[in-house]
Amino acid sequence: MTTGQRVRDIGEFALIAALQNALPEEARASEAVTVGIGDDCALWTPVAGEPVAVTTDMLVQDVHFRLDWTDWPSLGYKTLAVNLSDLASMGATPVLATVSLGLRGDEAVADLEAMYRALGELGARTGCVIAGGDIVRSPRAITLSVSALGACRHGPPLRRDGARPGDVVAVSGTLGASATGLRLLAQPVATAATASLLIEAHLRPEPRLALGELLAAKGATAAMDLSDGLFGDLPKLLTASGVRGQVDLRRIPVAAAVRALCPDDWLALATRGGEDYELLFTLPPELVDDVTADARAIGATITPIGVALPAGDAPGAIAVIDLDGAERTLAPGAFDHFASE
């Protein structure tokens, strides 16, 4: 432990050594990843015939996280988790990740070590080796960038463009908890007994890796993870697949705590809030019961919420059945980094 030292006190190379030492052994190498941190490149020998899924995500201070709202271990956990969620949406099994840091230099080394321990613990739990990365000076804001690679070994990769008319549209878990947790961080509700669970959903999302592997093995036709909200992400999947959709708002799974704490806009939080990191996917209707049972056996829940329909002249369009049973056309919308300015 480098107590009291700042990044600028020890420099780049001592920091790399400190962060490597903070990783658990299980997150430093594996049978497939034979060279990790310490060389010019990591080395992975993939199995012949297994497609490799590659994803990259970046978190920027005061855009994606605030240090007065999160602790360093949670930040490390989420930095890797959002990438693993992308692998889950493809049905891929994590193999390795590289982590790049843009730092001001005044960060406490002990804080970064705590971040890496949590990141490494998630990597060890999910079989993902932390295989390297980069550290640079970023004078204005801390920036965290992760690239993660996985192997599609349980079935064909799940893509966004495979949904067919008649397929059931479904989601995992519940929606809206992360957005509600973010609201609680900004406007704390001291009397809410469930507040900590909702905040945890925002700070430490659980990537649905086992469910993604199951969906790939069972024949799901399309999938993606929910990072920009249901009504932001579903149009992307429908458009890529050349279909339109119908969603029954009465079937969307929303935690009771979200409904209780946000009685006026719980539905908006569940459909447009974002950062749920649950899986959105389509299945042939004859597979729904079987996949639901198998998901339950691995501790996951799935909920059918709608159906894919022939596109006609409106691919990507969504009709919604409202809470009162009336049907209307959806106005799509999702978080946009630049439009939000």
Amino acid 337: pLDDT: 44
What SS3 class is residue 284? coil
Q: CA-CA distance, 180 to 158, in Å (whole number)?
A: 29
Rounded to 10 deg, the angle between the 72-89 and 195-203 helix axes is: 70
What SS3 class is residue 243? strand
Beta strand 243-248 with 318-321: parallel, antiparallel or unpaired? parallel
What DSSP element (H or E) covers 247?
A: strand 243-248
**Averaged pLDDT, 150-167:** 97
Residues 6 or more apart whose CB falls under 8 angstroms from that of 208 comprise: 85, 88, 172, 173, 225, 277, 278, 279, 300
Of residues 62, 102, 97, the one with CA closest to residue 82: 97
Domains of the chain: 9-151 (3.30.1330.10), 168-329 (3.90.650.10)
What SS3 class is residue 34? strand
| 120 Rama class: left (phi>0) / alpha (psi -120 to 50) / beta | alpha
Amino acid 295: pLDDT: 98
What DSSP element (H or E) covers 113?
A: helix 109-126
Both tokens of 22, joined, read 């903070």
Residue corresponding to tokens 């790399």: 16
pLDDT tens profile 290-307: 999 999 999 999 999 999
Both tokens of 291, joined, read 């996949």
Both tokens of 297, joined, read 């056996």
Residues 6 or more apart whose CB falls under 8 angstroms from that of 213 comprise: 88, 91, 93, 154
Amino acid 187: pLDDT: 85
Confidence grade of residue 2 (pLDDT, cut at 50, 70, 90)? low
Both tokens of 139, joined, read 């004078």
Chain mean pLDDT for the chain: 93
Q: CA-CA distance, 264 to 56, in Å (whole number)?
A: 36
Rounded to 10 deg, the angle between the 72-89 and 109-126 helix axes is: 30
Confidence grade of residue 194 (pLDDT, cut at 50, 70, 90)? confident
Identify the top-confidence range among 9-13, 114-118, 193-197.
114-118
pLDDT tens profile 20-58: 999 999 999 898 899 988 889 999 999 999 999 999 999
Q: CA-CA distance, 103 to 91, in Å (whole number)?
A: 33
Q: How far is CA 179 from CA 83, 161, 192, 251, in A?
A: 19, 27, 16, 19
